[in-house]
Amino acid sequence: MTKEQILQWLQGFAAEIEQNKEYLTQLDAAIGDADHGINMDRGFKKVMSQLATVADQDIGSIFKAVSMTLISSIGGASGPLYGTLFLRASSAVADKQELSEQDMLSLLQAGLDGVVGRGKAQLGDKTMIDVLSPAVAAFKQAVGEGKKMREAMQKAIIAAEQGMKDTIPMLAKKGRASYLGERSVGHQDPGATSSYLMLKCLLNSI
């Protein structure tokens, strides 16, 4: 995957967030603060306004700039979580101008580990981990079987979509949604949904 494709991914994700801003906010209204779409859109608009200034740098440096922008401009839990995801990803692919399948696995795994470390959530807690964890596992298995980037990411997306849908019957155990107890059941998690959109845009760029 080239640096140009990475930039396309970030641009595509920003556009996807803008398009789904109301939808993400509606999901969050049911079990959170009703601001996930608004916050994510604000953060990624800020990323887009600054992307040109770092576009000539290596992939790791681009991700680090994205991370710092998200942490400083997104409120709630999303800023620190997405910020940490891109910060850990930046370390995993430092100085790279293009990414192999193994590099992408390192990037995804580092991002997942960062979110787990920051949010202390586990699989089944009704969070973005329920999308990221199965997606990374599916990508890892596909790469281990010798699949190329696109096919491996297609496998990851199938797992991510299922993970997103699986959050609907879950009882929330982390974040604002956990305060609702049983009332959190029956609603799709907004963070899991934005994480799915992020991975879908990554596949599109590949």
pLDDT tens digits along 11-52:
999 999 999 999 999 999 999 999 999 999 999 999 999 999
pLDDT tens digits along 55-89:
999 999 999 999 999 999 997 889 999 999 999 99
Distance separating alpha carbons of residues 44 and 35, to the nearest angstrom: 14
- Residue 201 pLDDT exceeds 80: yes
- Residue 98 pLDDT exceeds 90: yes
- Residue 197 pLDDT exceeds 80: yes
The pLDDT assigned to 177 comes to 86
- The CA angle 55-206-85, to the nearest 5 degrees, is 60
Concatenated DSSP letters for 144-183? HTT--HHHHHHHHHHHHHHHHHHTTTPPP-STGGGGGGGG
φ/ψ of 116, rounded to 5, equals -60, -45
The mean pLDDT of the chain is 96
Distance separating alpha carbons of residues 78 and 180, to the nearest angstrom: 19
Entry field: residues in the chain: 206
Q: How far is CA 135 from CA 19, 74, 75, 162, 195, in A?
A: 23, 24, 26, 9, 10
The full set of domains in the chain, from first to last, is 3-205 (1.25.40.340)
Asked which of 69-73, 142-146, 179-183 is least confident by mean pLDDT, the reply is: 179-183
Within 13 Å and on the Cβ side, how many CA atoms surround 33? 12
